[in-house]
Amino acid sequence: MKRELPEGMYKLGEGVTTEEGTWKLTPSALTQVTPTARAKGVPRGWRAAKMTWTLTNKTSEIQQLLDLSPTVRYGAMGRPAAEFTDVGIDGIPDAISDDPPRVKPGGAYTLTVGVAVPADAAGEPVTITTRPSTMFGDTGDVEFFEGPFPGAAARKDFVLHPRPVPDTRKALAFGQWKADPQMTVDHVRPEGTADGRAMFSGELTVRNAAEVADLPYTPMKKSLRVYYGDELNEAELIPSGSGSADTGFIAPQRAATHTFHFSLPKGAKAESVTVEVTDLGSAEATFEGKIAD
């Protein structure tokens, strides 16, 4: 029996009319490919696939190509997939430029996009969120699409069902889920050293508990602070893995995972850390636990 997607989500291969009827978006299912030597953006050992997006101009006027600005995640935890280019896979053109691609009335523009996931993620769902961008920022309609990554049987029941702990004023342990909003911090581990400083990474996962996509949830404004030691000294967040969470909207009944990176000063050591999650500067949850070996 096929799993029905939450209301407001679409299967890869289905089309949806959006932007007040201006455009129809039709993303294809993912097709497995073998990257060539010219591929750019495929992490070593990851599986690669491609898909096409057909953007149809539904108006009677010439339209500047819609900028999709997709966010692509895979698996129950919603970890970021990699987008890549290769021979015949050009990716998404810059539609916000002085001379953007244009589409005639009733015409269609086809994009070919590469998506890569870890080798063990074959068969897992790939969830794609689009919210078109303009020079004024992300202002378009939010749409959600989902389909399995090829290479294994689709995991139709591969959906996260966390069990939040009862409301408490105490810090939660790594791996425990806060109830409202649903979130957890886990997998805090060492990442070596740089310039004499100990480096670490961790994961913040946020889940949209809504049943439908009427009000898509985003972790856009969530930030992190990391503390160590009995005096709760603040660790330094690494800019390349900034404390600001993934800006893409989260589909209903789906999750998004953001990997953050931090370091300790030279000579400082810590067996455990405390992570505070904030939204627009207000603390939402605090997690604490030991750093994994």
pLDDT in tens, 74-119: 999 999 999 999 999 999 988 888 888 999 999 999 999 999 999 9
Determine the Cα–Cα distance for residues 27 and 110; give it in Å rounded to an integer. Answer: 10
Mean pLDDT of 235-252: 74
pLDDT band at 242 (very low <50, low <70, confident <90, very high): very low
pLDDT band at 1 (very low <50, low <70, confident <90, very high): very low
Determine the Cα–Cα distance for residues 290 and 186; give it in Å rounded to an integer. Answer: 10
Instruction: Name the amino acid, one letter, at 263.
Output: S
What is the per-residue pLDDT across 167-176, written as a single tens digit (0 to 9) for each?
877 899 999 9
pLDDT higher than 50, residue 218: yes
Q: What is the pTM of this model?
A: 0.90
The pLDDT of residue 135: 57
pLDDT higher than 70, residue 136: no
Cα radius of gyration (the chain)? 21
Instruction: Name the amino acid, one letter, at 117.
Output: V
- Residues of the chain with pLDDT > 90: what percent? 69
Determine the Cα–Cα distance for residues 48 and 82; give it in Å rounded to an integer. Answer: 9
More confident residue, 99 or 155: 99
Cβ atoms 245, 252 nearer than 8 A:
no
Determine the Cα–Cα distance for residues 29 and 27; give it in Å rounded to an integer. Answer: 7
Of the candidates 97, 147, 91, 153, which has an alpha carbon nearest to the alpha carbon of residue 122? Answer: 153
Mean pLDDT of 277-291: 90
The pLDDT of residue 157: 67
> Mean pLDDT over all residues of the chain?
90
